Amino acid sequence: MHKGVVKIADFGFARVVDSVDEETILTFLGSPLYMAPQILGKEKFSSKCDVWSLGVTIYEILYGRPPYTAKSPPELLENIKKKKLEFPDEIKRSDEIKELLTKMLQIEEEKRISWN
């Protein structure tokens, strides 16, 4: 946190590459649990993918686990597509935060809220 601005970074998969192309970026950079479905599916994506990642981070802070898990990126994508977003009953959170997370974790990018 610097001057009231919070910045979150994950360098777990960071590496130096000789050239940058889409395949390299999608294959080597990022933590799959925080990747939007568009990135996991190697589809075109926008800055709304960052909204998804932040939504996963907030969910994990509030509930102690990510909303979706799997043993591999392809399995994670299938889980995201098939499983409805759930909020554990044993952990009480406001309806407002649940609504925000629901908007942030929309599978279809067109339905996901934007930074604006």
Threshold 0.85, pTM exceeds: no
Which helix (H) or strand (E) covers residue 75, if one does? helix 73-82
* DSSP state at residue 5: B
Angle between helices 48-63 and 95-104 (to 10 degrees): 140
Question: Per residue of the chain (116 residues), what is the pLDDT tens digit?
Answer: 778 887 766 655 555 656 655 554 444 456 889 999 999 999 999 999 999 999 999 999 999 999 999 999 999 999 999 999 999 999 999 999 999 999 999 999 999 999 98
Report pLDDT digits (tens) over 90-100: 999 999 999 99
**All domains of the chain, ordered by start, with CATH?**
31-104 (1.10.510.10)
Q: Which of 41, 116, 24 shows the shortest CA–CA distance to 75? A: 41
